[in-house]
Structures are given as structure tokens and as C-alpha cells.
């Protein structure tokens, strides 16, 4: 066992930290307030290799390990969780899904531009009536010989408008239940595909979350990922890896809030001394730091198992379950340590508190993570 990061991993962490400080921090409050997607910044993230970090270099990726991805996600999420969710979806759902299960043609056509951020990807599983229970897909992909006819509505799609490549899960054969589901690669601009309204959210307000409507969209057969009926397995397998991304996002939100609270506690004076000299504040900081470290180790463990090509499903679910709770608890305490200043925009912690909540909801709610974990325990 080795707890040391490699030179390369440290360099990735440093590059992500610098990028977040210089490119994401300016304007992050305004983007949150105006619900503006960080388009320019995401483009730069692509140029720096943050959008296809683990993709094989032969498909224009960075060829990095998952630990490096966790480190970069943490740094970006400390500052701007709206940028980091775009990064997470593009890396660990869309790029990973196509690289692992796509055909050579799909990789050439879609993975290469996705890995550099020239194109942005979206992962479309949830529907108005199908969230946690993803088997009850109402979107249909009717088999028409050389193509599928796609009809239905997807909800809550991250990168909904910014994306141009969409992995869309749909029911082909209802009688076969979840074995009759397919995942199709849909391009923006295909006739009958309309991007719906943008959601007005509590947190990650810079992220563009949209509903998507499909009416008789003709999707060529060669855009199906895997064999006929593989779509549900594809979605579950992809989400396993995605959870490492969201766990790292939660970790970053928590550590960002902690760093702000630590610095503030040394500056703010009350009763004649910095508030960091009051034991009640010290104990809060001690709890925050300990929980963040535990969350980080869970993220590393899941990432390590993935890199070793071992089963990482339970570890990823544990990392997401724990880190998202730590994000919630830590950001609430960070606001508390800031007192009244924590309640206003300028000090960042109220935004981090709002951003934290989504990590307990998307890519499987905390309740669903517990189902995943306990299923493994009771196997």
C-alpha cells in the first residue's frame, strides 16, 4: 500500500488548482446568480485535457489514471461545481461509456472530439416518470430495420443545451423489460430533437440542466452502443464509474468550504481573539478535516480499484454516499463559522452549501447508493 501521490498526479492536481483559481474563480458568483454556463472556461478545460482525462491518447485523451481524475475533480469543484459536473459527465459517463463499449467507428467519430472538448457530451437516462427506477423507461426506440425511431422526453439532462452528442437510453422491446432497453448516440440537429427549457435550480446554477424532447427522431442503427438490449446494463455500468466523479465533486465542494472556513476563522475576531481560538470552532474544523480526509480516501480507493480493473461498484457507491454527506455537513458548518457573512454571496460558502445538495441526488440518490452497497454486502 502506498499513500504517496506520483509526480505526475501532483502535477495534474497543481494544474487543476491553478486553472480553478485563475479561470474559474473570477465570475463564479455572477455565473451562479445569472445561471450562466461557463462556456469559455469549459473550452479551456478541454484544451488543457480535463475533459477526456482517462481516454486513451490514440483517441485524443490524456491517458491518465482515475486517481488523477479524482484530484482534478476535487480542485475544480472547490471553486466551481457547475464546471466540474460538466467535466464529470463528459469524462466518466460519456467518454468512458463510448471508449469501453462503443465500436471503432463510434470512437473515431464521437470519442475523439469529446475527449478534447471540441464536442461536449450528455448522458440521458432520467425521465419525468423514471428517476431512481430507471427500468420504467417511457422513451421508445422502435426498431425500423436500418434505424431506430426515437420518441419521448428526458428530464434533468446536464449539459443539456451545451452538448452536441447525447447518449440516450430508450425502450425498444417492452416485453423484455430492462433487457429490451438500448442506448443510442444522438446528435444535436437530428430532425425531431428539441432541447427544452432550462431548469432554475437551487445549486450548480451555472450548469445547464434541460429537458429534451424526441419526436420521430431517426437514429441510424450504427449509433446503438453494444448489442441489442444492452442499454440498461450500459447505463448501470457507466453510472458505477460516474459515481467516482460525483464523489470527487462532493469532496471538492467540502474541501473548498473547509479551506474558506479555516482561513476565515483565523481572521475573524470575537471576544478579543480570532474565532479559531475558541474551542467550539476548533472542534468544528477538526471534524470537517477528518471527514474530508475519510471521503478523499474512499474516492481514492474506488479510483484505485477501477484502475486495477477490479470491481469498484460498492467502493464507488460508498465514496459517493459518504462524500456527499460530508459535502452537506461541511458546507453547513462553513456557513456557521462565517456567521452572518456566510449567509451572503461574497464569501462563497452559501453557494457551496447549495451546490452540495445535488451530490446526494444525481447519479443515484443516497438511498439508491445504500441499496447498491447493501446488495453487495448481502450477496
Ligand X SMILES: Cc1cc2nc3c(=O)[nH]c(=O)nc-3n(C[C@H](O)[C@H](O)[C@H](O)COP(=O)(O)OP(=O)(O)OC[C@H]3O[C@@H](n4cnc5c(N)ncnc54)[C@H](O)[C@@H]3O)c2cc1C
Q: Of all residues in this chain, which one has the CB nearest to ligand X in the complex?
A: 131
User: Could you tell me how far CA 261 lies from the centroid of its own chain?
Assistant: 25
Q: Which is nearer to ligand X, 68 or 360 (CB)?
A: 360
Going by DSSP bridges, is the β-strand pair 181-187/147-158 parallel, antiparallel, or unpaired?
unpaired
Neighbouring C-alpha atoms within 13 Å toward the C-beta of 201: 26
Which of 20, 125, 305, 318 is close enough to bind ligand X by CB under 6 A? 125
Residue 236 or 361: which CB sits closer to ligand X?
A: 361
Least CB distance to ligand X at residue 155 (A): 7
Q: How far is the CB of 331 from ligand X (least distance, A)?
A: 17
Give the number of residues in contact with ligand X, rule: CB under 6 A. Answer: 21
What x/- string results for residues 200 through 239 when contact with ligand X is judged by CB under 6 A? Answer: -x--x----x------------------------------
Site of grid cell 474563480: 25
> Which span (262-270, 271-279, 305-313, 365-373) binds ligand X, by CB under 6 A?
365-373
Contact flags string 152-171 toward ligand X, x per CB under 6 A: ----xxx-------------
Query: If binding is defined by CB under 6 A, does position 126 make contact with ligand X?
Result: yes
The answer to whether 365 and 243 have CB atoms below 8 angstroms apart is no
CB of 361 to ligand X, least distance (A): 5
Under the binding rule (CB under 6 A), the answer on residue 124 touching ligand X is yes
The secondary structure of residue 94, as a DSSP letter, is I
Q: Catalytic pick from 118, 222, 363, 376?
A: 363
Structure-block grid coordinates of residue 206 = 451555472
Q: Is 359 in the site for ligand X (CB under 6 A)?
A: no
> Residues 129-148 vs ligand X: string with x where CB under 6 A?
--xx----------------
State which of residues 15, 25, 48, 361 lies at the interface with ligand X (CB under 6 A): 361
Q: Which is nearer to ligand X, 202 or 286 (CB)?
A: 202
Interface residue with ligand X among 186, 288, 353, 358 (CB under 6 A) is: 358
- What does the CA dihedral 157, 159, 162, 167 come to, rounded to 10 degrees? -70
Residue 363 in grid coordinates:
447519479
User: What does DSSP say about strands 165-171 and 121-124: parallel, antiparallel, or unpaired?
Assistant: parallel
Q: Contact region for ligand X (CB under 6 A) — 32-40, 72-80, 120-128, 296-304? A: 120-128
Please enumerate in sequence order all residues whose Cβ is within 8 A of that of 20, keeping only pairs 6 or more positions apart, or say none: 75, 76, 78, 79, 80
Sequence-ordered list of residues with C-beta below 8 angstroms from that of 211, at least 6 positions apart, any chain: 128, 153, 154, 155, 156, 157, 160, 196, 197, 199
Contact 244/87 with Cβ under 8 angstroms? no
Task: Return d(Cα 322, Cα 295) in angstroms, integer.
Answer: 6
Return the residue of 368, 369, 372, 373 that touches ligand X, per CB under 6 A: 368
Ramachandran bin of 271, using left for φ above 0, alpha for ψ from -120 to 50, beta for the remaining angles? left
Q: Is 363 in the active site?
A: yes
- Please report whether residue 59 would count as binding ligand X according to CB under 6 A: no
367 binds ligand X (CB under 6 A): yes
Measured in degrees and rounded to the nearest 5, phi and psi for residue 364 equal 95, 115
Is 56:112 a contact under the CB 8 Å cutoff?
Answer: no
> By CB under 6 A, is residue 92 in contact with ligand X?
no
Q: Which stretch binds ligand X (CB under 6 A): 51-59, 67-75, 219-227, 358-366?
A: 358-366
Question: What separation in angstroms does the CA of 232 have from each of 169, 180, 206, 224, 349?
Answer: 7, 8, 29, 12, 38
Interface residues with ligand X (CB under 6 A) are 89, 123-126, 131-132, 156-158, 201, 204, 209, 358, 361-365, 367-368
- The residues annotated with a catalytic role in the active site are 363
Amino acid at each position: 500500500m502506498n499513500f504517496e501521490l506520483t509526480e505526475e498526479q501532483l502535477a495534474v492536481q497543481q494544474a487543476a488548482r491553478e486553472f480553478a483559481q485563475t479561470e474559474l474563480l473570477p465570475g463564479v458568483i455572477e455565473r451562479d446568480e445569472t445561471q450562466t454556463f461557463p462556456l469559455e472556461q469549459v473550452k479551456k478545460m478541454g484544451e488543457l485535457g480535463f475533459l477526456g482525462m482517462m481516454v486513451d491518447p490514440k483517441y485524443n485523451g490524456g491517458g491518465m489514471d482515475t486517481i488523477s481524475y479524482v484530484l482534478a475533480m476535487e480542485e475544480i469543484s472547490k471553486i466551481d461545481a457547475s464546471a466540474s459536473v460538466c467535466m464529470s459527465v463528459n469524462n466518466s459517463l460519456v467518454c468512458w461509456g463510448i471508449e469501453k463499449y462503443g465500436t471503432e467507428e463510434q470512437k473515431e467519430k464521437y470519442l475523439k472530439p469529446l475527449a478534447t472538448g471540441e464536442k461536449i457530451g450528455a448522458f440521458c437516462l432520467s425521465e419525468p416518470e423514471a428517476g431512481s427506477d430507471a427500468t420504467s423507461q417511457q422513451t421508445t426506440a422502435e426498431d425500423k430495420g436500418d434505424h431506430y425511431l426515437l420518441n419521448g422526453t428526458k428530464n434533468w439532462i446536464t449539459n443539456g443545451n451545451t452538448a452536441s452528442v447525447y447518449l440516450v437510453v430508450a425502450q425498444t422491446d417492452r416485453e423484455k423489460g430492462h433487457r429490451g432497453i438500448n442506448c443510442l448516440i444522438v446528435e444535436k440537429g437530428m430532425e425531431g430533437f428539441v432541447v427544452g427549457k432550462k431548469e432554475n435550480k437551487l445549486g450548480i446554477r451555472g450548469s445547464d440542466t434541460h429537458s429534451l424532447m424526441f419526436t420521430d427522431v431517426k437514429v441510424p442503427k450504427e449509433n446503438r452502443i453494444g448489442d441489442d438490449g444492452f442499454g440498461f446494463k450500459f447505463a448501470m455500468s457507466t453510472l458505477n464509474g460516474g459515481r467516482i466523479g460525483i464523489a470527487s465533486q462532493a469532496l471538492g465542494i467540502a474541501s473548498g468550504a473547509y479551506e474558506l472556513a479555516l482561513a476565515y476563522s483565523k481572521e475573524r475576531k470575537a471576544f478579543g481573539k480570532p474565532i479559531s481560538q475558541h474551542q467550539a470552532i476548533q472542534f468544528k474544523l477538526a471534524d470537517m478535516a477528518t471527514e474530508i480526509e475519510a471521503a478523499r480516501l474512499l474516492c481514492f480507493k474506488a479510483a484505485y480499484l477501477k484502475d486495477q480493473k477490479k470491481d469498484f461498484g460498492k467502493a464507488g457507491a460508498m465514496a459517493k454516499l459518504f462524500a456527499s454527506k460530508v459535502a452537506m455537513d461541511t458546507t453547513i458548518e462553513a456557513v456557521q463559522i462565517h456567521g452572518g457573512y456566510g449567509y451572503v454571496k461574497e464569501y462563497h460558502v452559501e453557494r457551496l452549501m447549495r451546490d452540495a445538495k445535488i451530490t446526494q441526488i444525481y447519479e443515484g440518490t443516497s438511498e439508491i447508493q445504500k441499496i447498491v452497497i447493501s446488495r453487495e454486502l448481502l450477496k
